[in-house]
Structure 1
Amino acid sequence: MSLSQDDPRTPVAEHDRDAALRRVRDAYGQGQLDHEELDARIQRVLTARTRGDLGPALAALPAEPDTAVTLSAAVGRIRRGRGWRVPRTLTVASAFGKVRLDLSRAVLEHPVVDIELQLGAGSARIIVPRDAVVELDSVVTAMKDTRYRARTRTGADGPAGPRIRITGTLGLGRLTVRHARR
């Protein structure tokens, strides 16, 4: 039986734990928690086994802001690689340029990332983390098929990683998505 990402019984993934720790620390930095409460909540986050276990540690904290960023270029390349912070919602628009996004070495702060592509004649290559779940159902291509081979998961792989939902349109270019090798 597989559990959905929203099921409280889903095991906590590293990116979930990191995001929870960041929220607790941010609340402390903004003066919403005292030192003892900070220590108690950090302990709860570090010992949480399921997403439901994270609830008490995050209770009464402000929600994370829903970040949205647009990257655009009429001509030329759009590249993001090692160490960039991936927003919750990313729109990439280019008339003639190539797009290269490496999410495998990026900082993913959200369990779900939405990427909307608006490409004219350019192509896009997206590298996702090894354990990511990729959804491509809403990508429309005019000329070339999308290239993506879903990674086969085994029970020993552990919980699924971040969900990457890719939508949008590509005119003359091709979308290639692949999982990182490591």
Structure 2
Amino acid sequence: MPIEPGVRVSDDDRDKTVQRLQQAFAAGLITPEEMDDRLELAFTARSHGDLAPAVADLPGEPVDEVVELNSTGGRVKRAGDWLVPRRLRITSEYGGAHLDLSQAVIEHSVIEIELQLAYGSATIILPPGATANADAVVTRWGSTTCKVPGRPSPGNPHVRVTGELGYGHVKIRYARKRFS
């Protein structure tokens, strides 16, 4: 369904445009000066007609793939310096997930994590300032605890957690402070 040029843009529309511009800049398709001009267009756009010129001459939007991590009985674990995909699906019958994003490389303003855990729990650790929403997580015999703000904060990553857990818990928190 085509988007009408006069329809107002959302923050998510602006974020997607900024991501496309960042990818184009990183690929050498636009100069730093063009990047500045196009970012100004993206941030000040009120309608899709205002937003379109910022990316009109760039290649089409890349396919947004889902990175899938599967386990039968072990825990899926990511920590340290790892690249967080925009969309991540974790599936495990008898294992859990431990995702530490506190030192990870996060290139997207919104990250989507889908959990499909039959008998496992998940812990998601966020970097300072990041936010998360886990309202779409369904637990049958468990709970969901989110100790970080739930609304997106400009300039910080936002994590949307969805999925289903049979007998597990989901915990979302910031990294604990270490004492020397």
Please give the TM-score of this superposition, normalised by the length of structure 2: 0.72
Shift of 1:102: 1.2
| Code of the aligned partner of 1:164 | V
Write the deviation string for residues 125-161 of structure 1: whole angstroms up to 9, x where unpaired.
00122222211111011112111123399xxxx7351
Please give the TM-score of this superposition, normalised by the length of structure 1: 0.71
Partner of 2:84: 86
> How far apart, CA to CA, are the structure 2 residues paired with 1:65 and 1:49?
21
- Percent sequence identity is 39
Worse overlay, 37-46 or 119-128 = 37-46
Shift of 1:95: 1.0
Partner of 1:145: 143
Unaligned runs of 5+ in 1: none
1:117 maps to which of 97, 104, 115: 115
Partner of 1:21: 22
Superposition map of 1:42-121 within 5 A: 42-44=35-37, 50=43, 52=45, 58-62=55-59, 63-121=61-119
> How far apart, CA to CA, are the structure 2 residues paired with 1:128 and 1:179?
5
Partner of 1:6: 12
1:162 maps to which of 134, 145, 157: 157
Q: Judge conservation of contact 1:130–1:181 (CA < 8 Å) in 2.
A: no
1:41 maps to which of 34, 41, 44: 34
CA pair 51-172 structure 1, distance change in 2 beyond 3 A: farther
Q: Judge conservation of contact 2:148–2:172 (CA < 8 Å) in 1.
A: no
Q: Secondary structure at the match of 2:22?
A: helix
CA pair 73-5 structure 1, distance change in 2 beyond 3 A: same
Aligned length: 163
> How far apart, CA to CA, are the structure 2 residues paired with 1:137 and 1:151?
12
Unaligned runs of 5+ in 2: 1-9
Superposition map of 1:122-133 within 5 A: 122-133=120-131
Partner of 1:178: 173
> How far apart, CA to CA, are the structure 1 residues paired with 2:44 and 2:69?
32
Partner of 2:4: none
| Code of the aligned partner of 1:178 | R
- Pairwise CA RMSD of aligned residues? 3.4
Q: Secondary structure at the match of 2:12?
A: coil
Shift of 1:19: 6.8
CA pair 122-102 structure 1, distance change in 2 beyond 3 A: same
Q: Secondary structure at the match of 1:6?
A: helix
Question: Higher relative CO (CA 8 A, sep ≥ 6), structure 1 or 2?
Answer: 1
Shift of 1:24: 1.5
